[in-house]
Structure formats: C-alpha cells, structure tokens
Structure 1
C-alpha cells in the first residue's frame, strides 16, 4: 500500500504547512514549489448551478430493509471469486435492517449539508411494495415484490427530509408485481403511494420510473436481461401520463441508466438509446449514473474495469467523469433543450465503493468530481451514499462522519452557486473557483494538491484558509488546519474556523484539499449571496 509508506512524510508536510500559514509563511522559490496564480477579482463567470447541487442518495433499503453490499472486513476472498467468475451477486451482499431516521446525530450531520436533494433510490426501489394500511408491517412482500414500505415508514421519510432541508427524489416499482397480463407497467403501486402521500401533505419533488433500466434484472429476475429500450419507452409513456394526472408538480427524471468507466459495458443500452426510443420519452431532467470504476466485489483491482489504490489520485482516473457529461449535454441539447442534467448516482466505484472510499484518500476524488462537473455543466450530483458501511459519507453503524463528510460540509459552507473560471487544471494541482456563499463579491477557491510535495496559490486578496489533511491517507481522520475534526459530545458539529492570512501566497500541504475563501475579492460576477 504505497500511501502508508508515505505517511510520515505526508503528516510532516501537513503540520508544517499548517504552522506556516498560521505564522505567515516564507514561500519557497518558484523553482522548488509548484504554484498557481489566481486573479480572483476578475475571474469570469462560467455558469450558475442548482443551489442543491451537492446532493446524496439514501438507498431505499434504508427505509424498508433489504440487501446491501457486504462490508470489506466481512467479505471472504472466495465470495469475490464467486461473484467475479459466476455472476452470483448474492455472494457479496448482506441483509440490512431499516435505518433509524430519528437518530439525533444522523439528523445533525445531514442537516449540516442542507439544502440538498435526497434520492430515496437504488435497486430496492424497483421492487418495493407500498402497504396501504396502518396494520403491522407484512412479514413477507407479496408475490412480484421484494420489500415492503409501510405508511409509517414513509411518514418518517418525509419527516426526515423536512428536518434536514431536503427535497425528495424517488422511483417506483417496475417489476412483475405491477405488470398486467400483457407485460405493461401499471400504476397499481404508484397510485396508492401517491394518493397517501398527498393525503398527508407530503411532497415529492422529482421521480423516475426505473433505477438503471440497462442493468440486467432491474432488481426483479423475472424481467430478465431482454427488457429493451423500446419497452422502457412504452412503459414510460404510461408512467408520464399517470404522473401528469396524479401530481403534475413532480418533475420527471430519466432515463437513469448506468455507465462505468475503465472498460466496456458489454453492449448494454445507454442514454442515447432511451432518448431515441419510440414513443419518444420526454424528461424534465436528464439523468444518468456514472462510476469511474467497478469495486473489487465485482471486478478485481487488476481488471481493466477495476481501480488500484496506487491510481486513486491519477489524472486519468479523476478525468473519467468528463466524457460522460459531455455526451449527455449533447443529447440534452438535441432532445430536451434547456433541461437540467443530473448525475443521480456516483461514487468511487460501482458495487459498493472502493476499499478506501471512507478514508481521506477518497476526498480528493469527491471534491474534484463535484468541482469539475459543476464547471462543465452539471446541475446536481448525487453521491452514493449519504449513509453506508463502505461508501457513505456517514457510517451507517455508528452515524459518525467518514472523511468525505468534512469536505462536503466545507463545500456547503463556502461554495456558492456561481461557477467561475480559474483556468485549466495543472497536473497534480487542481484549482477551481466559485463565488463565496453568503458574501457578495467574495470568491472561494478549491485547491486540490494531489502530490506529496507542497504547492502554492498566489492570490492578491486576504484569505481565510480551510486546509484539510490527514495523518494517513488511508485513515478516516481529517485535520482542519492541523486539528482533528470531531463531533461534539452532544452530537453537534464542531466550530469550522479558518486560518486568516493577508494577501499573498497560500502554502498548500502535500496531499491536501484546501478551501480558500477570499471575502474581499470584489468579483463583479459574485453579486448574489447564494
């Protein structure tokens, strides 16, 4: 594990950089340190993104219970081999109980990231049964379904979203249980659910018909692998007519197909296939899922579709998000001009995330993905997941923050909706810019130092520096300006305070992610406080 071998060096640089910032550093010569110069006062406006751009998935299995990806520490090597060589997905899955959405710590953590969208989604959604009464929960789902959503549980989901300032995006059953004798989708499940939702004043902001219609099985083996994009278009036409009549406020999202980087998807349909199918689907929001790799539960690290830990900070891996968005932008402009584009499920790797997704090593990918896609034209991005054992920003067993949470919190605190152009990224040093949230004229820089050596950012305005480092890249521990970030004893968030520095160069520690607020930049594009 090459990153552990560099632990002492990285930690030393982290502490050194924090001390230098606090005391007014003497910046090393240009020839010895990589640097970038930013004229914050004149950075041009690129675009304005959704205020809820940074959003998350809370898998539907957290509402109903159901299968989830087995934790790496519980996963025997033979299970991986069985999945990889026989296709037996159950070998790397384990049962999950419904999550306590009233947990104080969990609510405090998610509320700190609001406003946001929460996607109650995932494979479980495709075969959920809505129990439209107040009886105790069924011990077994009816034929054609796999899990049960009760009225009580849906009320709790609505209450949770309201408490954390989230708008809800979800999906509906598509399996055997909702199909008629001709195999057509019917709203037998969706109507009962929406009628009840309306009766209690619930609001669903956006909805999709399918989670990943191009994946074999769709959560219901009876659909098989031969469900075509033409059949999807046929079902979607029924779905759209139903939603328009049942609750026209709901924005329709699709096609929500999935793509992974690093290798072929074996000829499975993609977004273009669904957008061109007849009858031609009409989506209010164009959506897709993208993972830059496949986790070793489903593809070994030596597979072309896998990812090795030594490549976690490579330019090639980080850039895998670029082409899929450009493809969807072209399709959007052709088939749904003006529609927002949402990446409604993403993370370090499909099949439950990488071994290091809960550690600081993943924070570089997490922030770089959000910043590069915001600049390139994405309107909202849903990280999978807000809560999980292997790939959540919050640990589902302890409700404690994983490393990415702290970067997400700084994004929410400092990153405004106006995206600025800080110029092209440099290998090993990525710099992005937005208007500073809540401060007209202010600018926020995100400086991602992918190398173990120090770097500098030159900015003329006074700076407030929030530098994230870790004593070990494979650790969940995150340091803010050299001090560990931890929840308080009462489960509230700690104070998030910067190191202030007069105009000049900001020293970036090796292997660091820094948010640099420039409240006095005076950028004329940053007139809004959002």
Structure 2
C-alpha cells in the first residue's frame, strides 16, 4: 500500500471513530494544502450488472416534507445591499418554467449566526428604484459580492470578530426573500450575548421578536450555532446544562407572544458528537429538550484542507455518516425519546468546503447519498450549507447561477416524496459497494405522475457503466429517467461546475428563469443503464405501490 493510500485509510478510520471539529468558516490560507491535483480516479470494482429488490408494500420511514432544506450565510443580512441582490435575482431561480413557486419549496431557509459576532437591530429608510436601476444595481452587487466573500474568509484567517448591526429593512428583505420563494424561515438568534452570571441576555433578541411580531412575520427560531466552539472562538464557555436553560428562557418568551407562541424552536446545532460534544448534547437535552421542536446537529465528511477527489467517491467515507447518525439518534432517544432529529447544517467538507471539489460535479455523490442515507436512518430534515455565502460548498456561484448540487437538489425536490421505502442491491461487491440506491414514493405534489408511482435514485461510484435489473413485479411500469453526468469528458470531468441532464447541459433560460427538467421515457421491461461516475432518478410511473397511493 502506498503512503498516500495509507494516509487516506487513516483519515477514514479517524472519521469512523471520532469526527473532527466542525467550523463553518476557516482561514483562506489553510486551503494551500488541499489535494485537488489528482488526475486518475481509481475504480473500486468492475461491476457490470446488478439486480435490485424493491419493497412497495411498507413505508420504512416518513420524513418531513421540508426534508431537503437550505441555509443562507448570515453575512448577507449584515449588509442589506446583498439582501437586495438576493431579492433581485435569487428567489426567481427557485421558479421552474410552467411551475411557479415549486422547486426547492417547501424548504427551510435558515440564517446562521457567526459564533463571535454580535447583531443589533436598527431602523433604516427604505430606498425604492426603477427596474433599470435594479438591473444596474444587481450587476454591480454581483461584482461586490465576489470581493465580499473573499473578505469574509480573510477575516476568519485573521481572527477578526467584530460587532455587526443589521437594520429592520434588512429583516424585511430577508423575510420577503423567504416568503416569495415559498420557504419557511428559521432565524438564528445570538447566544453569545451573556449576563455577568453567564446566562443568555435576551434583551436584544426581544427587540427583534417585537419587530417581527409587529410585521406579522411567520418564522421559527434558533439560539446559537456550534456551542462546542464558543470557548475556542469567543472565550466563552457554556455547558450543556446552561444552554438548555437558555433555550427554556427563549421558549418562555415565545410562549408569551401572540404570533410566536406555537412557533418552532430548534437547537442546539452542536457539531458532530465526540468527547465533550456528547456531554454537551446530553446535558442540553436533559434541561432543554422540552423547549425544542427538534434536536439539531452538524455533519461534514472530511476536512476541506486535506481531502481528495477519491474521498468524494469512496464508499467507506460515505458510510461514516451512518455511524454519526446512529450515535446522535442513540443519545437523543436515551434522554428525550421520540424527539425529532435534524441535520441543522451539513455539506461535503468542513472549513468552508474543499477548493475545486465542493462546488463541482463530484460533490453530488456525497450530497445525494447523504439525502438517501439520512432519510433511511430516520433524520427528519437535512439543511444544506449553503445556498449562497462564503466558502466553496454553495449551491449557486458568485453570479447566482446554479452549480451542480443546485440542479441535483431541484430534481430531488421535484421527484422524491417523504415516504421512504426499502431497496436492496442484490450483488456481491465485497466491502466496498460502488452502487448505492434508495427508494421513495414519488412526490405526490407532482401532478405529472400517477398515484402509486415510486422514485428510485442511484449512484454509480465506478468508472464503468452499470445495468440495473428491476424485480419482476415492476416489469410492466413505464420509467422516466433523469440521468445526471458531468458536462465535460475526460479525466477532468468530475471537476466540472456544470452538469448534463440526459445529455443536455443545464443552463438558466435567462437571469431569472430555470429550464424545464425533463426526463427520458423508457419502455416497460427495459433495464436501467447507469453510466460510470453518474447518478440518476428513475420514476416508475406504473409501479402501483399501495403505500404511495
């Protein structure tokens, strides 16, 4: 085994035993050691044909209809001009041609707080402009956003944590974006405003709550972000017991509100559990579980500073997620049985993502497998970091054009329903399984499909094309295939920032309009051909699954 292979195996073992500390934003200079220069992808197995078994008679799990959700970078709110940019262009990109307001909605738009930045609300005068002025402003702001995202990373490098104020108008813009996009809004309040007794100081939060209440804004709430890192980044230590008490305090405030008395409250948004994080999560649940609607935690597979292309395609790396999910579920079930569990923040690589990987086609393997595995194991919602923001794991680029994971997310929302069914690959592929697949009822809100339709989605981590044979009881079903491949060919194809759907490169129709996402119809009985290094959704239109009617 080469030294590189040994190092990679050690990383996998470390992920299995204890996840490395997660931080949403890291220093730009640390990206220098990133391994993105690999030219050759190692095939794990030479599988040519497989058979699958599909259970259409039992719902194994049922997730929230908002299962695939997105987060937005808090830095946009700190400068309201960037919220204007999001409203001018961003929400229109959630709209599919001939299907307005149906795309990533229903979903959750979550606004995270930097752990060490303080937010205060202040009034601001609204400025109105013509359509031409909006277009000019949009073009200018796109250029400014490129510089802003670099500035944010540089601030993290230098450890600058400054107080930042946002205005009432910025809150208005944020809510308008969420509302026009058909998103539910979760607003993250600052937990680092503390009293001399180290309890949460709610004064500032109550100002914001009163303003939102006066505007009749329908939204939910969080308190803090990754409390396990407060001491390291802000010099403030908050244990799980006190954190739970802080959430009880916020819950009591919400209970007294005419608008928010029955609203959602989510937390503690702890990083994936290990060592003291398990104690923090346990202590929090012991004191604060009754205050929250769902328990939230964060997950990333790898360190963005030293990961590789091979890691993004390694079944063993993907399988580490199951270990962490089961650990969290076990903790929650032991302290607060029946409590819903969410992935409150997640993507491929922590540290702002992996340069040259997290915003490319290859990142889709981690993202789609995470969606399949999280639903299969019992998580209720998965919130993707990030729709737009600093780092390299965003869903849209600096020009607000969709990246590969955006198109993947859009298809998932369109085709996949909340009912999780059982699917099994009948093959002997050894310890590494390059073909991964999941089965759900088809999204019933899609009027294009008949009741009883099911959606099978599959990933081929192998360089070779694979033929999938479906069971006999589905042989009479017409199938609509949505196959996603890199828009480029050759050894650099997995690094592409564009994607093909059934051979056609996906592009915006114009600055505000998404193209129609059309499948390719296959005749009944035809075996499915999944190209090498691709993933696909297959809708079995006439499956007539009893549990999907």
Name the TM tier (shorter chain): 0.7 to 0.9
CA distance in 2, matches of 1:125, 1:416: 38
- Is the partner of 1:369 in helix, strand or coil? helix
- The whole-number CA distance in structure 2 between the counterparts of 1:524 and 1:203 is 36
Q: Is the 8 A contact 2:482 2:520 kept in 1?
A: yes
1:185 Cα deviation from its structure 2 partner: 1.5
Give unpaired runs (5+ residues) of structure 1: 10-30, 67-95, 138-143, 302-306
Instruction: Say which of 502, 520, 527 aligns to 1:499.
Output: 520
| Contact persistence 1:347–1:383 (CA under 8 A) | yes
Contact 2:78–2:165 under 8 Å retained in 1: yes
Structure 2 CA distance, aligned partners of 1:256 and 1:39? 35
Correspondence list, 1:97-112, <5 A: 100-109=85-94, 112=103
Q: Distance in 2 between matches of 1:449 and 1:402?
A: 20
CA–CA separation in structure 2 for the residues paired with 1:498 and 1:186: 53
State the distance in 1 between where 2:85 and 2:232 align.
27
Give CA-to-partner distance per residue, 1:228-283, whole Å, 9 cap, x none.
Answer: 223323333322222222321222212211127xxxx6744555433355577642
Q: CA deviation at 1:318?
A: 0.7
The CA RMSD measured in Å over matched residues stands at: 2.8
Structure having the larger proportion of residues in helix: 2
Partner deviation per Cα, 1:334-393 (whole Å, 9 max, x = no partner): 333332211000111111011201100000111000011111101100010011354344
CA deviation after TM superposition for structure 1 residue 46, in Å: 0.7
CA separation in 2, counterparts of 1:165 and 1:101? 14
Q: 2:212 is matched with which residue?
A: 197
How many residues of Structure 1 are paired with residues of Structure 2 in the alignment? 449
Contact 1:105/1:492 (8 A) holds in 2: no
The TM-score normalised by the length of structure 2 is 0.76
Q: How does 1:227-246 map to 2 (within 5 A)?
A: 227-246=238-257
**What is the deviation of 1:322?**
1.0
SS at 1:489 equivalent? coil
Structure 2: distance between partners of 1:405 and 1:341:
24
Question: 2 CA distance for matches of 1:369 and 1:328?
Answer: 15
SS of the counterpart of 1:395?
coil
2:64 aligned residue (50, 69, 91): 50
Normalised to the residue count of structure 1, the TM-score between the two structures is 0.78
Q: List structure 1 runs of 4+ shifted beyond 6 angstroms.
A: none
Distance across 2 between alignment mates of 1:405 and 1:153: 25
Q: Quick one: structure 1 residues 279 and 59, their matched pair in 2 at CA, closer, same or farther if it must change by over 3 Å?
A: closer
Q: CA deviation at 1:521?
A: 0.4
Are 2:282 and 1:291 equivalent residues in the alignment? no
CA distance in 2: counterparts of 1:168 and 1:218, whole angstroms: 29
Matched, 1:170 2:187: yes
Structure 2 residue aligned with 1:409: 410
Deviation at 1:65, TM superposition (A): 4.0
Q: Does residue 433 of the first structure (1) align with residue 424 of the second (2)?
A: no
Provide the rounded CA distance (Å) in 2 between the counterparts of 1:218 and 1:250: 32
1:329-478 aligned within 5 A: 329-355=329-355, 356-423=357-424, 427-438=433-444, 439-459=450-470, 460=475, 461-470=477-486, 471=488, 472-478=493-499
Contact 2:91 2:177 in 1 (8 A): no
Structure 2 residue aligned with 1:80:
none
2: CA distance, partners of 1:416 / 1:32? 29
Q: Distance in 2 between matches of 1:218 and 1:508?
A: 46
SS at the partner of 2:230? coil
Offset from partner CA, 1:264-312 (integer Å, 9 cap, x none):
x67445554333555776422111111122221xxxx1xxxxx222221
